[in-house]
Amino acid sequence: QERAEHGRRGNEERKPRHSSEQEQRRDRSGDRDRHRDHSERRKNLGARGHERDAQTLQEQQAERELYNERRREHRQGSAEHNPELRPPEGKPKEKAAANKEKPSFELSGALLEDTNTFRGVVIKYSEPPEARVPKTRWRLYPFKNDEFLPVMYIHRQSAYLLGRHRRIADIPIDHPSCSKQHAVFQYRLVEYTRADGTVGRRVRPYIIDLGSGNGTFLNNQRIEPQRYYELKEKDVLKFGFSSREYVLLHESSDKSEANAKDDDEDEEKEEESDS
């Protein structure tokens, strides 16, 4: 009986120890599972956080690009409407070059190279559709007081720009009272009535003032700006307050009146054939 009682007590003592070990194993397994779940949740949260950060960064970058584009458009629009906001285009260099240049009154042919802009300068004048190169060899004879200056041959182009802006002027006029783009000497194909009543066409010289500050003078009379005035042989032109006078003649001006009339008739026939 004592042995049996002792064995029974031993079994009872071993049962709780065995059950406590199982409980500890289950606890450790549960801790591992909870730790694993917590780690997975942290990883998932971290991945979602990185995705949100990347998306937020992309949105911010897109907003910055849109803002910069609007700023550029605003600056360009402001510069177009307000010329004072445009950056200077090498004005000191232009002044230095102008100071170094020696006066030259030779024809440059600048007006025909580009009717809108030339060397970065906007031309204030465009030739009319009836512009033509003349058959008659017209010439300008400049005079300064009693001094005779070189003759200007003005029959090779349909128009000549006169002004103080030497980079674009065909005929430079350097007097400070003259405008940069002062006037234009223009040949035009116009209709006329013959002696027999028929209508013909011929090329005639004209002068037009481009709205200069101090005006253009034809035979000592100031002409209206932006209007064509027909020129005739021996007409005298002056610009601003310059003392230079430009007398309009042609190659037959020194001949007799009979020869001049014959030349005029030949000129009309040639010009009619062009039309």
CB neighbours of 182 closer than 8 A, spacing ≥ 6?
Answer: 162, 163, 164, 173, 209, 210, 212, 216, 239, 240
Cross-strand pairs, 147: 144
Beta strands 159-163; 171-172: pairing state = parallel
- H, E, C per residue of the chain: CHHHHHHHHHHHHHHHHHHHHHHHHHHHHHHHHHHHHHHHHHHHHHHHHHHHHHHHHHHHHHHHHHHHHHHHHHHHHHHHHCHHHCCCCCHHHHHHHHHHCCCCCCCCCHHHHCCCEECCEECCCCCCCCECCCCCCEEEEEEECCEECCCEECCCCCEEEEECCCCCCCEECCCCCCCCCCEEEEEEEEEEECCCCCEEEEEEEEEEECCCCCCEEECCEECCECCEEECCCCCEEEECCCCEEEEEEECCCCCCHHHHHHHHHHHHHHHHHHC
CB neighbours of 224 closer than 8 A, spacing ≥ 6?
Answer: 209
At residue 182, what is the residue type? Answer: H
With CA atoms as reference, report the closest residue to 151 among 260, 252, 248, 242: 248
Look-up: residue for tokens 């599972």?
Answer: 33
pLDDT value of position 7:
58
- What pTM did the predictor assign? 0.54
Provide the 10 A C-beta neighbour count for residue 187: 25
CA 184 to chain centre: 23
pLDDT value of position 220:
94
With CA atoms as reference, report the closest residue to 212 among 180, 188, 166: 180
pLDDT tens per residue across all 275 residues of the chain: 555 555 566 555 555 555 566 666 666 666 666 667 666 766 666 666 567 777 777 777 777 777 777 777 766 665 555 555 455 555 555 554 455 545 444 555 555 444 567 667 778 888 999 999 999 999 999 998 877 788 999 999 999 999 998 888 899 998 999 999 999 999 999 999 999 989 999 999 999 999 999 999 999 999 999 999 999 999 999 999 999 999 999 887 765 444 444 444 444 444 444 44
pLDDT value of position 178:
94
The CATH architecture of the domain made up of 127-257 is Sandwich (2.60)
